[in-house]
Structure 1
């Protein structure tokens, strides 16, 4: 049994905490609110941008007074537009605590650092970020990897593509917000950017949690650490294909998917969030395909089948609507 701290109580952090608890580990979930829905998880309130508060939250726990074995960095800035401002100090604060206590840092990453690609992405694909968000994420990993090589802190990074799943909250998953939920409501799915027919890899939230738990359980001095891993991910689907499959599985009429007119998007660029999304435009205008073969072979894990993942997601959306009507 290991003592593991998960920083960040979003959809990914919550699922990782639940997966680790189910495997018999002692888990602390650190978040701004200090709340969690996961049974058996110790909840701690702390702001990851405050080094002193974070150090206190990740201090000795339990009767033995021992430190955490692994710290899972699953935190995100409050706003998508604040990545460049908030990520560096949060990353440095988490790394500092890990260095001081001897905990390994498991970073939950993404694919932003790769930039434009014309082939499936493997973990060996070089960084070539398109903008500041990609540069921030690339620099976070490069600094952590350097510390790993110097022996100051064990580090490993899990990289997922745009995620979806039954517990994805509104405002954090493009596929859920712009395709899945509108289709389930019988509405036109208005997609803000990209080629609706372009193949795109979508990572399933439970698959992210399972690989994170596998890494947290792995020997920090072994070959599984000190490198990135791509989450086992099902074959790519275009947004139009996803919309049609959701409608079919939910027993609805054929989905209607349209792209937001260019003139509307041009006007929307006055809004900071829309401008920030421009950095990821290339990911949706051309094929964006994640190769997860390395993790599948090493950990013996296949991605959840596409149809099962969609069915579970549809069921989760229905349960959410039912809960909303009862409250």
Structure 2
């Protein structure tokens, strides 16, 4: 029975723990509060404390980094988490699999693959680019083994107000009301289902030759939010409406709310088509995204049950 360590007990960390446990692995999941997660042993640990993280990870085959600090604290929190993870992996021999996103690509010029060059558009993209580069640099020195799994915005059961396709989006639609969204709702955008993200993380961790590079997780949908609203109506029998929040409103909100300031800074992801290409991942690991209608049905059922 292999032991795995997950840093971060949020939605991705919890789903990853569930899948690893179901596969027979012993799972430890670390967070500052020691958040309990089904199928895992909760550990209290500060992910930016190299010594504490090293001791927590010791004996584990993989260190999965699934934590995600609040937007407005990225500059303060991500660099020490990266340094601590490198120190822990070097000391214990655990491989690192980093849960990533597409921020470092900036404004896209076509579909984004793992080979698409970084071109950060805001500070968050720059921070993510530097984090990955620090892991690559440590690997090139022979200190660690690492990979990154990148996904666009996620959705699925439990996705709440912080998700662009969470209950704040679906809730009003299920009541036949209007939901407000960032950017242009008519533009295509890639959406990753939570279980598919976890499955990709595990597939990459299981293959030694999948390390030293990044992979893009399969995505269930590349539809616009207008089209998704129509699909919600088809499944529920209730037709809601989607409207975009003007950019000037977001920027105004950002004057008083640090999180909204960062949402506005990354709103380019919803003012351009934002498409992820996972062809290489699908061919390498034989993975396929969960059909969107199935994933959407499960997500809507979870919201109705609230």
Question: What TM-score comes out, normalization by structure 1 length?
Answer: 0.89
Partner of 2:171: 181
Root-mean-square deviation (CA), in Å?
1.5
CA distance in 2, matches of 1:105, 1:165: 25
Partner of 2:46: 47
Contact 1:179 1:239 in 2 (8 A): no
Deviation at 1:86, TM superposition (A): 0.6
Contact 1:81 1:273 in 2 (8 A): yes
SS at match of 1:175: coil
Partner of 1:248: 234
Matched, 1:81 2:72: yes
Partner of 1:312: 298
SS at match of 2:180: strand
CA distance in 1, matches of 2:282, 2:268: 27
Deviation at 1:184, TM superposition (A): 2.1
CA distance in 2, matches of 1:122, 1:159: 9
Partner of 1:269: 254
Residues 1:134 and 1:262: Cα distance change in structure 2 (over 3 Å): closer
For structure 1, which segment, 275-284 or 8-17, has the greater mean C-alpha deviation from structure 2 after superposition?
275-284
Give a deviation string over 1:191-230, Cα, whole Å, max 9, x none.
1x311110000111000011111122222xx2x1111000
Deviation at 1:160, TM superposition (A): 0.5
Give a deviation string over 1:273-313, Cα, whole Å, max 9, x none.
22111221211011100000011001111100010110010
Contact 1:7 1:71 in 2 (8 A): yes
Partner of 1:58: 57
Partner of 2:35: 35
Give a deviation string over 1:234-270, Cα, whole Å, max 9, x none.
3411111111211221221x21111224553343131
Partner of 1:62: none
How many residue pairs get matched? 305
Matched, 1:212 2:201: yes
Deviation at 1:2, TM superposition (A): 1.9
5+ residue gaps, structure 1, are 60-66, 322-327
SS at match of 2:43: strand
5+ residue gaps, structure 2, are none
Residues 1:262 and 1:147: Cα distance change in structure 2 (over 3 Å): closer
CA distance in 2, matches of 1:228, 1:26: 25
Give a deviation string over 1:83-136, Cα, whole Å, max 9, x none.
111110111111111111111000000000001112001111000101111111
Deviation at 1:178, TM superposition (A): 4.1
Contact 2:175 2:240 in 1 (8 A): no
Contact 1:14 1:36 in 2 (8 A): no
Partner of 2:61: 69
CA distance in 1, matches of 2:121, 2:247: 21
CA distance in 1, matches of 2:204, 2:247: 43
Partner of 2:216: 230
CA distance in 2, matches of 1:141, 1:212: 16
CA distance in 2, matches of 1:151, 1:81: 33
Give a deviation string over 1:5-60, Cα, whole Å, max 9, x none.
00100000000011111111111111122132313x2211112123333233223x
SS at match of 1:174: coil
